[in-house]
Amino acid sequence: MNIDLFSPVNLSSYSLPNRIVMAPMTRLRATDSIPQSLMATYYTQRASAGLIVTECTMVSPMSNGYMNCPGIYSPEQIVGWQQVTDAVHKAGGKIFLQLWHCGRISHSSLLNGKQPVAPSAKAPVGELHTPVGKVTMETPRALEKSEISEIVEQFRVGAENAKAANFDGIELHGAFGYLIDQFLQDGSNQRTDEYGGSIENRARFLLEIVEAVSSVWGAERVGVKLSPSNTFYGMVDSNPQATFSYVLEALNAISLAYVHLMEPNETDLKNRAVLNPVTPLFRPIYHGTLITNGNYTKDSANAALANGQADIVSFGKSFLANPDLPERFKQNAPLNEPDFQTFYSSGEEGYIDYPFLT
């Protein structure tokens, strides 16, 4: 059987009409961390995806790293997300919520004056846009061991709230240098307790979160996103192949909905030698459903599916600029070009005004 982007696929108990996933993308259109009707329009426009994964969503006020990103820890946020899920479901779509904690990728001006937290007191590399302007990120405070279990509980409550908001499942953001990734990689995790040192110890935080959210959803409705070659914010690991091989072997035993693997981008490849490509390297290790992401075209995505490197392909910028991306792929129609200037702005421009096929 020849598998391509339009082959149906079973994901958990869901039957998806295609293998085209809308990747999670930070868009910063929430108001006071509450999702708005504009966001419902944005996601509903893209409901022809086999699955939508939302933008990263805060599990607590201390998980914040960007202005105007949404949360899932208050009743008002749950109601805000309900209007999104209701609209997507009415349009026939499926949607997972991505749960997220920024950790050290933050600033005290985003945290009511509190110091960002991380596995270790090691500053990230880079700058952030904050309420006080563009700033260099601060050195975080190393989490006390007792605080780690509190954050695991915040993810569990976030999973409960996602269920209350009528999502179809959740994805854990374990990539791109945020808190879960900070624990996984030894360049950011220099702890000496049971959450640091060995790969097994560094993976403990992720696996405890997976267990916690699976107690709410069942593991079959939980996905995990990983980026073994990410260099964002100065992320580095001394042996990423060993680290992520261990993580994927551990996840094999849990029967997740999927693992979402990120290929390196142009910046990663320029920064240093990284694992490239990622998906073919780890496909023999992970036995469950694998989603790959990495600037795929229709042709390169179909090739990855046909040769068994992945089961599903997610698309970011091309879905951002083409709300009807599956139909454009079906017709071999030209694609709208994304406007990078409006990725993180406010309002409708560059958000819900990209044209559909006539």
Q: Could you tell me the pLDDT band of residue 62, with boundaries at 50, 70 and 90?
A: very high
Q: In the predicted model, what is the mean pLDDT of residues 314-325?
A: 98
Do residues 79 and 123 touch, judged by C-beta distance below 8 A?
no
pTM of the model: 0.97
Q: Could you tell me the pLDDT band of residue 85, with boundaries at 50, 70 and 90?
A: very high
Which residues are CB-neighbours of 254 under 8 A, at least 6 positions away?
A: 210, 214, 219
How many C-beta atoms lie closer than 10 Å to residue 229's C-beta? Answer: 25
Q: Give the mean pLDDT of the chain.
A: 96
Residue numbers annotated as active site = 178
Nearest residue to 248 (alpha-carbon basis) of 281, 278, 200, 286: 286
pLDDT at 267: 85
pLDDT at 1: 66
Which residues are CB-neighbours of 84 under 8 A, at least 6 positions away?
A: 35, 39, 40, 43, 44, 54, 95, 165
How many C-beta atoms lie closer than 10 Å to residue 24's C-beta? Answer: 24
pLDDT digit string, tens, across residues 90-122? 999 999 999 999 999 999 999 999 999 999 999
Please tell me the CATH code under which domain 9-321 is placed. Answer: 3.20.20.70
Q: In the predicted model, what is the mean pLDDT of residues 219-243?
A: 96
Nearest residue to 345 (alpha-carbon basis) of 173, 199, 139, 129: 129
Q: In the predicted model, what is the mean pLDDT of residues 127-148?
A: 95
What sign does the CA torsion over 146, 150, 153, 155 have? negative
pLDDT digit string, tens, across residues 323-348? 999 999 999 999 999 999 999 999 99
Q: What percent helix, strand, coil does the chain show, rounded to 5?
A: 35, 15, 45
Q: Could you tell me the pLDDT band of residue 12, with boundaries at 50, 70 and 90?
A: confident
Domain ranges of the chain: 9-321
